[in-house]
């Protein structure tokens, strides 16, 4: 026994070898050529869009400057005049502006309430199956060429209005049919942007309203819509910009001549000035009609188109700035 113990005590101890230290982490940025190429491509695309906008503004400003430099054109008359007749050197823009505002207002009366109601239905009531069926239909409406909408307004909407109000009231070319069809044209835009804003509202707000006893309609109208007011306001203003800049529908269905009036007094007393059932030429419709003729470069008729285009650009720019301000003013952030 003692021998065994002595033998065990004399056994050499096992050597413990030190583990090699792990290599240090390589914190150096790795080269990713594919990501660099994509980033550069996106930068080029953004630069091209900015340069294109700058080029458009430069061309509009240059040609408009030539128009207002002419001795036959007065800047005051352009912004306050009530007659647009380039043949007799009358360049008052308000007959074109009034027709543009009339068609845009009618379009908003059609598109805004319908678009918001459809958006509320899609986001709050529709099942995924119904939503999947309705969304492609709205996308099809957005993909129809505007010239088709123009002939739809002329051959379908105008006869409908004539049957309702009478042919002696509704002219063949009128602002009402053009405005209604423009409202149908921008309906997908209003619906899509409004639905995105409604869907972004957290479900916790809806569940809290249900817990307090609110119905689905009360939750949608009093909770979800106010919470998404910034997105809905932006959708409305973008749609207004789209309606103001619409061209082919008004060029085909609204009329081919400005609705001049004799004085500002008659503009508020004579219903013919703002009657939507009569023909009237919008700013975009006038640009289409005049540019389709034989215009010589540098003439007043030619440069006046750029002045109208610059005014349209400023209108849409102002609406876009207003939409950004509304989004910032009513923006709601949730954790």
What pLDDT digit, counting tens, does each position of 112-132 carry?
Answer: 999 999 999 988 888 888 888
Report the pLDDT averaged over residues 194-215: 88
Please tell me the predicted confidence (pLDDT) of residue 71. Answer: 80
Range 58-330 classified under CATH 1.20.1250.20: no
pLDDT of 105: 92
Average pLDDT over residues 105-114: 92
Q: Is residue 163 over pLDDT 50?
A: yes
Q: What is the DSSP string of 212-254?
A: TT--HHHHIIIIIHHHTHHHHHHHHHHHHHHHHT--HHHHHHT
What's the pLDDT at 228? Answer: 86
- Find the angle CA(49)-CA(283)-CA(46) to the nearest 5 degrees: 5
273 pLDDT above the threshold of 80: no
Domain edges within the chain: 58-330
Q: Which of 4-13, 61-70, 152-161 has the highest mean pLDDT?
A: 152-161
Higher pLDDT, 89 or 264: 89
Model pTM above 0.75: yes
The pLDDT score that the predictor gives to residue 1 is 47
Asked whether the predicted pLDDT for residue 26 surpasses 80, the reply is: no
What are 91's strand-pairing partners? 84
Please state the length of the chain. 335
Taking only the tens place, the pLDDT of each residue in 208-235 is 888 888 888 888 888 888 888 888 888 8
CB 204 within 8 A of CB 135: no
Which of 6-20, 232-246, 258-272 has the weakest average pLDDT?
6-20
- Listed in sequence order, the residues at least 6 apart from 191 whose beta carbon sits closer than 8 Å to its beta carbon are 115, 118, 119, 122, 138
């Amino acid at each position: 026994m003692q021998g065994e113990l002595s033998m065990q005590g004399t056994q050499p101890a096992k050597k413990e070898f030190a583990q090699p230290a792990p290599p240090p982490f390589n914190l150096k940025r790795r080269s990713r050529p594919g990501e660099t190429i994509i980033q550069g491509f996106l930068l080029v695309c953004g630069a091209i869009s900015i340069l294109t906008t700058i080029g458009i503004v430069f061309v509009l400003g240059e040609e408009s400057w030539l128009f207002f430099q002419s001795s036959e054109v007065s800047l005051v008359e352009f912004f306050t005049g009530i007659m647009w007749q380039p043949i007799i050197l009358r360049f008052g823009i308000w007959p074109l502006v009034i027709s543009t505002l009339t068609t845009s207002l009618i379009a908003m009366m059609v598109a805004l309430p319908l678009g918001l109601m459809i958006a509320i239905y899609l986001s709050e009531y529709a099942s995924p199956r119904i939503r999947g069926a309705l969304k492609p239909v709205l996308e099809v409406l957005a993909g129809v060429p505007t010239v088709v909408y123009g002939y739809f307004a002329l051959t379908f909407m105008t006869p409908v209005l004539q049957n309702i109000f009478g042919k002696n009231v509704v002219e063949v070319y009128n602002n009402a049919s053009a405005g209604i069809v423009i409202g149908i044209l921008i309906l997908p835009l209003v619906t899509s942007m409004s639905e995105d804003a409604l869907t972004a509202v957290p479900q916790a707000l809806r569940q809290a309203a249900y817990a307090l006893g609110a119905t689905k309609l009360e939750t949608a109208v009093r909770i979800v819509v106010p919470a998404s007011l910034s997105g809905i306001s932006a959708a409305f203003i973008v749609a207004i910009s789209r309606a103001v800049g619409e061209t082919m529908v008004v060029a085909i269905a609204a009329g081919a001549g400005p609705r001049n009036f004799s004085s500002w007094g008659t503009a508020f007393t004579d219903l013919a000035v703002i009657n939507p059932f009569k023909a009237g030429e919008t700013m975009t419709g006038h640009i289409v009609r005049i540019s389709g003729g034989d215009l010589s470069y540098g003439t007043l008729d030619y440069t006046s188109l750029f002045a109208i285009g610059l005014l349209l650009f400023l209108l849409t720019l102002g609406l876009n700035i207003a939409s950004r301000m509304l989004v910032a003013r009513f923006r709601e952030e949730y954790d």
